[in-house]
Structure 1
Amino acid sequence: MSSERRFRPAVVLTVVLALLAGACSTLPVGRPADAGLADRAEQLYRDGQLDESANLFLNLASQSRADAAAHYRLRAAEVLRDAGRLDAAAQAIADIRRRRLQGDEPQRLDLLDAEIALGRGDATHALDLLDRAEGEALAPALRLRQLELRARAQATAGDRFAAARTRAAIDPQLAGADRDHNRSEIVETLLALEPAALIARAETLQADDPLLPWIEQALRRKGSMLPRQLPQANRPVGTLTPDDSGQLQAEGYRPLRQVALLLPLSGPLAGVAQSIRDGFFTAYFADASEQRPTVRVYDAGDTPAAAVAAYQKAVADGADHVVGPLQRESVGELFRQPLPARVLALNHPDSGEVPPPGNAEFGLLPDAEGAQAAQRMLDRGIASAAVIAAKTDWAERAALAFRTQFEAGGGRIAGEARLLDNEVNYRNAITQATASLGADGGIFISMRPQQARLLVPQLAIASISAPVFGTSHIYAGDPNSGFDRDLNQVEFCDAPWLSTPVPGRPDRGNISNQIASANGVGARLFAFGMDAYALLPYLGWMLQHSDQYIDGATGQLTADSFGRIHRRLGWMRFENGIARPAQGVLSPVPAAPALQ
């Protein structure tokens, strides 16, 4: 009876099997009369009739001698393995003498034997066989299969870090379903480990180790995270250097030809997209006219499929750089597609994966704000902290990042409390968070302005004079001394453009009078759009030079080796109800030539 071709989730990479099948269809030695039957067996295999294919190969083996018989038995075993019949595959190769095999067949035999050993739970024997293949020259498809089997053997042997590392190493070479399966296996392998073990191992890795993003993803799934590597902005991009002809050129600058901006033009995120788009085009028109690329706006819709279709349309229209999409789900889906045009995504994917090589992601993350608030307090000599945050997703993320960074730096969390939207009396929350706060303590808050304006006066009523540090969420974005006077002396991190001129960017005071979206909560998104445009001509350079930065409207911008854009934020303090640059705010640097 025919059997359909089956690939179980645990079976080795499907693309590798397809490559091997194509490579194995020619019999190196044998009678010419066998050629037609061998071709028929291979065709049955391609048609998914695996049982018929395996039986025909076995019949050919029984009618052949020496090398030809070994070849046919190996092919029969490989087909049986594809059908999920490892015991039958083991029986088929039992009588093969390795010296009878030719070309890559000895290595294929070892890999098949290793998989059979894994099926029987014998990781030690499997690793021995894989070690033998390690020392031999393997075709790329066989090498991928060998590494995937090694990862499975390492996991079976209990070495989950080694298994995850092996899979992380092969991930860039995969695509489609194979890549998705491999990534799922990486995370599931790491999820079996405790957060403390994951954090301890991460601390031993280099900052560009390919396993780090996967450890981060596993920790997020467990409600934990790693301390952040805070941006090290040492040198601005665009330094003028002479080229071969002696002409001065901006280092790292690459002219743009055609840019596509992918944003939702309707739906719940249309207002957010409007502020980003206005900021993007404000920076575009401030650019020198001879340097400006063609820019086209595409509707990314409100689904991942719509965003992918918009990207494909932009590429078909000739775009060489694509900015967007905005929704996290859409970013994740786009990152799983072939990307012929470089992408600067305007969010981080919901899956937590890093961008494909050569591409980047950029977002206004509460995690970054929480971590930098922790570092600022540590730098001030504050050794204990009370955490008070709103009960929202973004506030929880900021609080978790703060706690992780503060404790990693030697600080102590004295207590935590959460504020509900309908509360106005915060006495219990204040007591819960600050009861064990020491004399050297400080308070970290992450909440909207309305809650902050209620909380800070109640801290004073409770006779708590510890300094207060917050995220950008406590500031509505526009001066309002009447309401914000209650926040006097509170420091918070935010986009520098909101409070001070940024070289190479239009002055906010002038822009806010002309463009409504540059005001209020939209101001940060407007600055975000300006920075997205500013990043484009330097993006490729920055991905290779993590110590170089752009002095952006949202902060000093750097890129890590994984394609993630990081912001070093500015600091502001409320004085007489007005947010002003605080001591230690980012100092200006010369403007990048592309935006002068």
Structure 2
Amino acid sequence: MGIQPNEADTPQGALAIAEASGYSDTALRGLLSTASRYQQAGRHEDARVILRSDAFADAQGATLDQFRLLAMNSIVALDDRTWAASFTRDLPVEQFSSYPADRQQSAVDLQAQTFTIAGRYLPAAQSLIASAPLRPDAGSLADNDRIWQLLKRASTSRLDREARTAIGYEQQGWLELALSLREPGITLEAQGKSIRQWQSNWADHPAAQPLPSELQLITNLSGERPGYIALALPLTGPLAEAGQAIRDGFFAAYYEDDQSDADTQTRVRVFDTHAADFPAIYDQIDGTRPDLVVGPLDKSALNTLTNRTSLPTPVLALNYLEGGQDHPAQLFQYGLSAEDEARQIADRLIADDRPQAVALIPWGDWGDRVESALVKRMNENGGKILDIVRYDREEDLRKTVADLFDINSSRQRAINIEHTIALNVEFEPRRRQDIDAVVLVASPTIGRQFNPLFAFYFGGDLPVYAPSTIYTGTPDASRDGDLERVRFTDIPWMLNPDSARRQRTSAALPNATQRYGRLFAMGMDAYALSSKLQLLSQVEGSDIEGLTGTLSMTPEGIVRRQQQWAIFQQGVPTRLETPTDPSEDTPIDPQDTLQPTDR
């Protein structure tokens, strides 16, 4: 059946015409012309239908170059992460040089944006570095800021690998600068020293003058730090153990910090917030004239600060207000948020091209928060949570999984068929077939029961994603064998048990680091944040490598954490690298599992 006139201006009709001609080079050029016309009319969804088809699988030469340029244009216009991830697997960093001189600058910008949308930050930065001679803004503060923020988001392993083979003065200098600031928990003073040393060694490098804004601020702030910190935590009462673990972590980081080059030695005074209402405690603390208050931990105590129009002393709270609550200036919020982990699971699902998932989440307020954040982020990313089954640990977990996979509906269909034909039929139940992955929000004990049930109910091929609740923090191959192939997100402190830094602190404070490891790490990062709040709040895109994740800040003063990923292999957590980088989208060899690093 031929193409009707009213179908000719549809992407499907254009593809059918090209297919009928055997995808000749003339037909492919016609398709590209149609896609370009769609883009000029703002019809990027229609252009995507053409550009994502198989028609260009064997395109070469000028046709391939034009295809890539148009594809990047629509990827950027649509902010299509999934398309960007697949498209950039074969996109050379030097692609921009294939175009006429008057189009190379716009091609570079599209190329860098496309790599960025795909999460491939190092190739995005390399595109800008390599194209510097073509761009009038190259070497400007804005350009250096852009390159620096991309390099910061690239994985350390990829940076290190590229640094060993880098060709060119500019690229070598940028990579060395990025790697010099990569140590988690590195002090502000050490960062300042490293930047100044790099500047001296690379005096003629485009990034040396002007330094990226974030690095300028680090060098300016490295000689400054709070002279007096008030640490306000519950040291008695029901939250005493949590408060004490955070306190111990805070002081562990404090005593590790080399303050020999600081203008003043930081003094820390501890206040027990369980002793009275927090407004009274804050006023008492403020009367001692500190430079910063770290605390409170309790959410109800934090809520009392929302009634104030201003805070004379800045506060780094160790919890979060409910979303959307108004709060005074100089209130910063940091904690181990379940919502952060839910958002990271959603991001990972999309990065792994698993846009349709089902979820098991326990009943309760905490589960409500996880569900809300997971669903919202999946919708924002263009994915979907197909179904959520809430459960109680006392329930029949077999039935819970059967409901999740819709096994009972499969059985009922077979029964209906038998009734219809009045015969017994051979039947094997099937799970629903639209599921790409399972999100498992559970403790280790419950997770060990759920994971084998997925295979029992025909879901053994589905990848399972979980938050940090799935891992005890101590490798236990004999028990965690039932969590085989479960992917989970956790803080760097828990995924690097053999690191020199963790070994030192564990030897000195074994109870705090083992029983309350995540809270201990939170205390260490609270100390790191105490000297970097101005950096994070003033430089957009800035972050620090912490022990609870990569820490950044929203314009509202909320600290966000980007955790690491691991997968259980032979019952032992094995680190996973950045999913959107094809060269690193595989687990580390099991023999290298959680190798010691001097953190």
- TM-score bin (small chain): 0.5 to 0.7
1:299 counterpart = 2:243 = no
**Aligned-pair identity (%):** 30
Note if 1:250 corresponds to 2:219.
Answer: yes
After TM superposition, the structure 1 = structure 2 runs for residues 380-419 of structure 1, keeping only pairs within 5 Å, are: 380-419=352-391
State whether residues 405 and 457 of structure 2, in contact with CA within 8 Å, keep that contact through their aligned partners in structure 1: no
Deviation at 1:276, TM superposition (A): 0.7
1:532–1:411 CA distance, 2 compared to 1 (3 A) = same
Q: Check 1:464–1:390 CA distance in 2 against 1; reply closer, same or farther (3 A cut).
A: same
Q: Which structure 2 residues correspond to residues 517-532 of structure 1 after superposition, within 5 A?
A: 517-520=511-514, 522-532=516-526
Letter in 1 for 2:533: L
1:515-554 superposed matches below 5 A:
515-520=509-514, 522-554=516-548
Q: How far has the Cα of 1:483 moved from its partner?
A: 1.7
Q: Which amino acid in 2 is paired with 1:301?
A: H
Counterpart-to-counterpart distance in 1, 2:358 and 2:239: 34
Residues 345, 374 of structure 2: 8 Å contact kept = yes
**Which whole-Å CA distance do the structure 1 matches of 2:562 and 2:322 have between them?**
23
Q: 1:501 to 1:427 in 2, by over 3 A?
A: closer
- Give 1:442's match in structure 2, choosing from 437, 440, 445: 437
Cα shift at 1:318: 2.5
Structure 2 partner of 1:21: none
Distance (Å, rounded) in 2 between the aligned partners of 1:470 and 1:281: 31
Residues 348 and 363 in structure 1, CA contact (< 8 A), matched pair in contact too: yes
Q: Which whole-Å CA distance do the structure 2 matches of 1:580 and 1:321 have between them?
A: 39
Specify the alignment match of 2:463 in structure 1: 467
- Report the AA paired with residue 320 of structure 1: D
CA deviations 1:386-411 (Å, max 9, x no partner) are: 10011132223112211221122222
- Could you say if the C-alpha distance between residues 581 and 509 of structure 1 is closer, same or farther in structure 2, counting changes exceeding 3 Å? farther
Unaligned runs of 5+ in 2: 1-118, 122-148, 153-180, 182-187, 200-207, 407-430, 585-597
Q: Which amino acid aligns with 1:379?
A: A
Amino acid at match of 1:569: Q
Q: Work out the CA distance in 1 between the residues paired with 2:559 and 2:572.
A: 30
Paired with 1:261 and 1:456, the residues of 2 have a C-alpha distance of 42
1:46-125 map, 5 Å:
none
Which one of 277, 281, 298 corresponds to residue 251 of structure 2?
A: 281
Which one of the candidate residues 447, 456, 460 is aligned to 2:451? 456
Q: 1:264 aligns with which of 234, 244, 247?
A: 234
- CA drift at 1:350: 4.7
RMSD: 3.1
Residue aligned with 2:274, SS: coil
Unpaired stretches in structure 1, ≥5 consecutive residues = 1-229, 588-594
TM-score with structure 2 setting the length: 0.55
Distance 2:504 2:321 in 1: 35
- Correspondence 1:326 to 2:320: no
Equivalent residue of 1:484, what SS?
helix
Matched, 1:431 2:426: no
The structural deviation recorded for 1:351 is 7.4
1:493 aligns with 2:489: yes
Which amino acid is the alignment partner of residue 395 of structure 1? G
Deviation at 1:440, TM superposition (A): 5.7
Counterpart AA for 1:409: N
Change in Cα spacing, 1:468 to 1:293, as seen in structure 2 (3 Å) is: same
Given the two structures, how large is their TM-score scaled by the length of structure 1?
Answer: 0.55
> Larger deviation: 263-272 or 383-392?
383-392
Amino acid corresponding to residue 405 of structure 1 in structure 2: R
Please give the residue correspondences for 1:197-212 in structure 2 after superposition, counting only pairs within 5 Å: none
> Deviations 1:321-365 (Å, cap 9, x if unpaired)?
110001111112124334211110000125752542233110111
The answer as to whether partners of 2:313 and 2:330 remain within 8 angstroms in 1 is: no
Q: Secondary structure at the match of 1:477?
A: coil
Q: 1:376 is aligned with what amino acid?
A: R
Give, in angstroms, the shift of residue 296 of structure 1: 0.5
Counterpart in the other structure of 1:115: none
Output the amino acid matched with 1:582. L
- Is the alpha carbon distance of 1:351 and 1:405 closer, same or farther for their aligned partners in structure 2, counting shifts above 3 Å? closer
**8 Å contact 1:354–1:563 — kept in the other structure?**
no
Structure 2: which amino acid aligns with 1:250?
T
**Residue in structure 2 matched with residue 483 of structure 1 by the alignment:** 479
CA–CA separation in structure 1 for the residues paired with 2:288 and 2:441: 43
- Are the aligned partners of 1:495 and 1:553 in contact in 2 as well (CA < 8 Å)? yes
- CA distance in 1 between partners of 2:523 and 2:405 (Å): 39
In 1, Cα distance between the equivalents of 2:535 and 2:444? Answer: 39
Match of 1:26 in 2: none
For 1:454-474, what per-residue CA distance to the aligned partner results, in whole angstroms no more than 9, with x for missing partners?
Answer: 111111221212000001111
Deviations 1:72-95 (CA, angstroms, capped at 9, x unpaired):
xxxxxxxxxxxxxxxxxxxxxxxx
* Matching residue within 508, 517, 532 for 1:514: 508
Q: Distance in 2 between matches of 1:543 and 1:336?
A: 23
Distance 1:300 1:455 in 2: 40
Does structure 2 retain, via aligned residues, the 8 Å contact 1:355–1:361? no
Is contact 2:273-2:281 (8 Å) kept?
A: yes
CA–CA distance in structure 1, aligned partners of residues 472 and 295 of structure 2? 26
Amino acid at match of 2:362: A
Q: Residue type of the partner of 1:558? A: S
Query: 1:287, 1:347 → 2: CA distance?
Result: 24
Task: State whether residues 499 and 579 of structure 1, in contact with CA within 8 Å, keep that contact through their aligned partners in structure 2.
Answer: yes
Report the 3-state secondary structure (helix = DSSP H, G, I; strand = E; otherwise coil) of the residue aligned with 1:289: coil
Whether the 8 Å CA contact 1:329–1:350 is kept in 2: the answer is no
Per the alignment, in what secondary structure is the counterpart of residue 301 of structure 1? Answer: helix
**2:562 pairs with 559, 563, 568, which one?**
568
**Structure index of larger Rg:** 1
Per the TM alignment, residue 577 of structure 1 is displaced from its structure 2 partner at its CA by: 1.7
Q: Deviations over 1:134-187 (max 9, x none)?
A: xxxxxxxxxxxxxxxxxxxxxxxxxxxxxxxxxxxxxxxxxxxxxxxxxxxxxx
SS of 2:226 mapped into structure 1: coil
Q: Which amino acid aligns with 1:412?
A: K
Q: 1:546 to 1:335 in 2, by over 3 A?
A: farther
Distance of 1:347 and 1:377 partners within structure 2: 27
Determine the C-alpha separation between the residues in 2 that align with 1:443 and 1:367. Answer: 18
Secondary structure at the counterpart of residue 414 of structure 1: strand
Aligned length, in residue pairs: 353
- Describe the SS at the equivalent of 1:396: helix
Deviations 1:252-301 (A, max 9, x none): 44312000000011111001111111111111001013344100000111
Q: Secondary structure at the match of 2:438?
A: strand
